[in-house]
A and B are shown apart, each in its own frame.
Chain A
Amino acid sequence: MAFARSRQALAIAGVLGLALGATACGTGNDKKSDKAGSAECAAYEKYSGHDGKKVTIYSSIRDVEDERLKQSWKEFEDCTGIKIDHEGSGEFEAQLPVRVDGGNAPDLAFIPQPGLLKRFADAGKLKPASADTKAMAEANYSPDWLKYSTVDGKFYGAPLGSNVKSFVWYSPKMFQEKGWQVPQTWDDLIKLSDQIAASGTKPWCAGIESGDATGWPATDWLEDLMLRTAGPEVYDQWTTHGIPFNDPKVAEALDKVGTILKNEKYVNGGFGGVKSIATTSFQEAGTPITSGKCALHRQASFYANQWPEGTKVAEDGDVFAFYFPGIDPAQKPVLGGGEFVTAFADRPEVQAVQTYLASGEYANSRAKIGDWVSANKKLDINNVPNPVDKLSVGILQDPKTVFRFDGSDLMPAAVGTGTFWKGMVAWINGKDTKTVLNDIEGSWK
């Protein structure tokens, strides 16, 4: 008995030993760059001197986009010897605070919400950008953009990718067949809508269902109209709570949105009445354009990826976009979004990568790979392969453009990703403008 027991114990101990032994076996690999010094590396001279160092980046960019990202800085890695370790997460917004509070912050993070950026800056977690990064950013981006990553006078990082939200999608073929013209002003747009409605088709289609983010496309509508009816200065006051959310100017803008989205004659082409907007998913909201059941769909540049397979997205193709016209044609306000390269560490190699990502070389390197837009002024529009991206870059680089960041990303999360979304859903579902704006104002503390 005693013998059997001790043998059993020995067996367990043996397994245990094996297990612990295996845990101790790590994997290690070192990669050395040997390209440094060659001709194509001349451009990276100023980032040299950090051979063998590693920089970690955390972002919400995944899958194919992640591959493109890695490809875009490969040459930089080969030439400087800095290894960039990028990790993309679908839970980026929720996980980043957890990692930062847990003392496991990445060196760099691509933050798409200036509100979140400010939260980290206020908490003293972010490192202000180096003088080199700041100089590079100021040379390449307009002040409109840089103010979103500046908190209390300190600059925290340059933008990277961008998108343009002030677009109306349409079918160039349908327009040509019916003899419709792309409108240049708000009044033209309404006239065109009436003309289409008279022809028996509902002109607009829209959808704001998006899982737990339901409502966001409608907030973009209001933001776009705020920029047009009240102007960029009032828009800034609105997003920073300088004026209350239920200010008459906001009510005016929302009512203007209502002239389209709450007009039974205008919506919802291919889906039903006004209320069907609330339950139509934003991904499929524009598809009736391809079957001629709807003519106009206001959505951001990234909607280009949502069209059914085989749809040609081009100026002479099945679908394309035009700039959502302003009320005064002399002004060109543009609503958009983007991510900012912010640092949680200030080691020299981290700053080198941060500076490089703000440079024109990087913007062009990334743009050539495709499906990418940036407000970087050094970006050569000829390096942008896709027609909608070309249009977006053209708008972003136009000196007449007044750019404003998506307002819901600037407001506190409880409003920007909470009551604002929910309020717009309730508004579509029949609540009146005044009640909705009062409710949202009540939640903003």
Chain B
Amino acid sequence: MEFDFAAEQPKFLMLMYGLIAFVAVVGGLLLLLDVVPTWFARRREAQLVAASASGAPVPRRRKQREGVFAFFFLLPTLLLLTIGLVVPAIRTTLLSFMDARSTNWVGLDNYGWMFAEDSIFRVLINTLIWVLLVPLVASGFGLIYAVLVDRARFESVAKSLIFLPMAISFVGAAIIWKFVYAYRGDEQDQIGLLNQIVVSLGGEPKQWLLESPLNTFLLIVIMVWIQAGFAMVVLSAAIKAIPADIIEAARLDGTTPWQMFWRITMPSIRPALIVVVVTISIATLKVFDIVRTATNGNYDTNVIATEMYNQAFRYGENGQGSALAVFLFVLVLPLVIYQIRNLRKQREG
């Protein structure tokens, strides 16, 4: 299709309006920030000049005004947080106690449904498998890799190889791996890497993504592939930050590499490891794109986030969708609290 500027004109017009609105708002704010303090400064200057001229005592600056200023600058953030986060969270919680059309209160029915319906219970189990395996395997793999390549030759090349998948979106990664798992009939040429390997070893091609529970593990591989790079980079940096004198002292004492890892490296990088595990856990609980792209939740691979989206936006079941969202929120909450506590402890210590 040819690109017709005239036909696309309304879109460009909208784009221009958007840009203009942006310039207007940001410009207005800048102007305000520029003018208001200047005005106050001038006034104070005038006051000081007047005071020194008349010999009266210098007027004291009121502390209260600074509080007002602080509030003024916090206001946009508070407002956006309230509109974008607090209100929706409360509303979602309320909706989860209401029926599909959000008109009648149904108590805990939606939460009961989650555990009573076989297919939804399966969703919860799958999410559990994900959240147990992904942080463990991804961090473990990242850690081992970071330790192995530390100070090796070609360290940066080896690290970028593992880090590269981080640059690929979840949807992109899922599409790539869908090709890896792709299936073609016996008599055809295989286009999937995995089946090609199986066939060249003399086996029969398999429908990898159709076989539960194997398929859930194959999807988890995709997530690990992406997240291991993140774990590796953070942990490698932590390893490099271990003070050299500690390592030297340990060497002089004649530690074996094994002892070195468990007695020196692990305790030193513990805070970084916790951050990595918690971050990956939260990302895993929210996983949506991989499942939706690779299997669309069919063949018993569904997880909470995809089912939540389906219920709320495709099936018009607001209550059930909201209940799943709240459940997911409750699952993430302890991880976040643990993370914050840990950070606070670190700061104090």
Q: Given A27-B13, A417-B315, A19 and B27 touching (CB < 8 A)?
A: yes
Q: Is the beta-carbon distance between A23 and B185 smaller than 8 angstroms?
A: no
Q: Is the beta-carbon distance between A414 and B317 smaller than 8 angstroms?
A: yes
Of chain B, the residue at the smallest CB distance from A414 is B315
CA distance A419 to B302 in the complex (A): 13
Stretch at the interface among B31-39, B74-82, B132-140, B151-159: B31-39
Residue A275 CB within 8 A of the other chain: yes
Q: Is the beta-carbon distance between A426 and B27 smaller than 8 angstroms?
A: no
| Binary CB contact string for chain A from 315 to 343 against chain B (1 if under 8 A, 0 otherwise) | 00000000000000000000000000000
Q: Is the beta-carbon distance between B20 and A271 smaller than 8 angstroms?
A: no
Residue A13 CB within 8 A of the other chain: yes
Q: Is the beta-carbon distance between B311 and A23 smaller than 8 angstroms?
A: no
- Measured between beta carbons, the chain A residues less than 8 angstroms from B184 are 271-272
Secondary structure dominating the interface of B = helix
Q: Is the beta-carbon distance between B17 and A5 smaller than 8 angstroms?
A: no
- Measured between beta carbons, the chain A residues less than 8 angstroms from B315 are 412-414, 417-418
Residue A212 CB within 8 A of the other chain: yes
- Measured between beta carbons, the chain A residues less than 8 angstroms from B313 are 94
Q: Is the beta-carbon distance between A16 and B34 smaller than 8 angstroms?
A: no
Residue A374 CB within 8 A of the other chain: no
Residue B213 CB within 8 A of the other chain: no
Partner of A279, one of B24, B30, B38, B210: B210
CA distance A376 to B210 in the complex (A): 44
Q: Is the beta-carbon distance between A429 and B310 smaller than 8 angstroms?
A: no
Residue A39 CB within 8 A of the other chain: no
- Measured between beta carbons, the chain A residues less than 8 angstroms from B310 are 418
- Measured between beta carbons, the chain B residues less than 8 angstroms from A22 are 16, 20
Stretch at the interface among B88-96, B292-300, B328-336: B292-300
Q: Is the beta-carbon distance between A275 and B27 smaller than 8 angstroms?
A: no
The smallest beta-carbon distance between B288 and chain A, in angstroms, is 12
- Measured between beta carbons, the chain B residues less than 8 angstroms from A23 are 17, 20-21, 24
Q: How many A-B residue pairs have CB under 8 A?
A: 101
Task: Name the interface residues of A1-42: CB closer than 8 Å to any CB of B.
Answer: 2, 5-6, 8-9, 12-13, 15-16, 19-20, 22-23, 27
> Interface residue count for A (Cβ, 8 Å)?
43
Residue A65 CB within 8 A of the other chain: no
Q: Given A279-B183, A279-B210, A443-B117, A16 and B31 touching (CB < 8 A)?
A: yes
- Measured between beta carbons, the chain A residues less than 8 angstroms from B240 are none
The smallest beta-carbon distance between B102 and chain A, in angstroms, is 11
The smallest beta-carbon distance between A102 and chain B, in angstroms, is 16
Residue B207 CB within 8 A of the other chain: yes
- Measured between beta carbons, the chain A residues less than 8 angstroms from B292 are 212
CA distance A273 to B16 in the complex (A): 55
The smallest beta-carbon distance between B150 and chain A, in angstroms, is 43
Q: Is the beta-carbon distance between B31 and A13 smaller than 8 angstroms?
A: yes
The smallest beta-carbon distance between B212 and chain A, in angstroms, is 9
The smallest beta-carbon distance between A389 and chain B, in angstroms, is 24
The smallest beta-carbon distance between B321 and chain A, in angstroms, is 10
| Binary CB contact string for chain A from 259 to 274 against chain B (1 if under 8 A, 0 otherwise) | 0000000001011110
Of chain A, the residue at the smallest CB distance from B17 is A23
Q: Is the beta-carbon distance between A413 and B314 smaller than 8 angstroms?
A: yes
CA distance A22 to B28 in the complex (A): 16
CA distance A426 to B38 in the complex (A): 70
Residue B172 CB within 8 A of the other chain: no
The smallest beta-carbon distance between A64 and chain B, in angstroms, is 9
Q: Is the beta-carbon distance between B27 and A15 smaller than 8 angstroms?
A: yes
Of chain B, the residue at the smallest CB distance from A423 is B119
Of chain A, the residue at the smallest CB distance from B310 is A418
Task: Name the interface residues of B173-216: CB closer than 8 Å to any CB of A.
Answer: 183-186, 188, 207, 209-210
- Measured between beta carbons, the chain B residues less than 8 angstroms from A211 are 296
| Binary CB contact string for chain B from 22 to 57 against chain A (1 if under 8 A, 0 otherwise) | 011001101100110010001000000000000000
Residue A166 CB within 8 A of the other chain: no
Residue B253 CB within 8 A of the other chain: no
CA distance A279 to B298 in the complex (A): 11
Q: Is the beta-carbon distance between A16 and B28 smaller than 8 angstroms?
A: yes
Task: Name the interface residues of A431-445: CB closer than 8 Å to any CB of B.
Answer: 439, 442-443
Q: Is the beta-carbon distance between B42 and A2 smaller than 8 angstroms?
A: yes
Q: Is the beta-carbon distance between A275 and B298 smaller than 8 angstroms?
A: no
CA distance A427 to B132 in the complex (A): 30
- Measured between beta carbons, the chain B residues less than 8 angstroms from A6 are 38
Task: Name the interface residues of A375-434: CB closer than 8 Å to any CB of B.
Answer: 412-414, 417-419, 422, 425-426, 429
Q: Is the beta-carbon distance between B34 and A212 smaller than 8 angstroms?
A: no
Residue B316 CB within 8 A of the other chain: yes
Residue B118 CB within 8 A of the other chain: yes
Task: Name the interface residues of B1-29: CB closer than 8 Å to any CB of A.
Answer: 1, 13, 16-17, 20-21, 23-24, 27-28
Q: Is the beta-carbon distance between A8 and B20 smaller than 8 angstroms?
A: no
Q: Given A2-B42, A272-B183, A418-B310, A9 and B298 touching (CB < 8 A)?
A: no
CA distance A267 to B117 in the complex (A): 33
Q: Is the beta-carbon distance between B207 and A19 smaller than 8 angstroms?
A: no
Partner of A275, one of B16, B100, B210: B210
Partner of A278, one of B28, B30, B210, B317: B210
CA distance A238 to B272 in the complex (A): 58
Q: Given A16-B24, A414-B316, A272 and B186 touching (CB < 8 A)?
A: yes
Task: Name the interface residues of B285-323: CB closer than 8 Å to any CB of A.
Answer: 292, 296-299, 310-311, 313-317
Q: Is the beta-carbon distance between B24 and A439 smaller than 8 angstroms?
A: no
- Measured between beta carbons, the chain B residues less than 8 angstroms from A271 are 184-185
Partner of B35, one of A9, A20, A418: A9
Between A19, A412, A439, A443, the greatest number of chain B beta carbons within 10 A of the residue's beta carbon is seen for A19
CA distance A275 to B38 in the complex (A): 74
10 nearest CB pairs, A to B: A272-B185, A414-B315, A12-B31, A425-B298, A19-B20, A413-B315, A16-B27, A19-B24, A418-B315, A19-B23
Q: A413-B316, A429-B210 are in contact. List 10 more A-B contacts (CB 8 A).
A: A5-B38, A9-B35, A9-B38, A19-B27, A20-B20, A94-B314, A212-B296, A214-B296, A279-B209, A443-B117
A-B contact pairs, 21 of them (CB 8 A): A2-B42, A6-B38, A8-B34, A16-B23, A19-B27, A20-B20, A22-B20, A23-B21, A94-B314, A272-B184, A278-B210, A279-B207, A279-B210, A413-B316, A414-B100, A417-B315, A418-B314, A418-B315, A439-B118, A439-B119, A442-B118
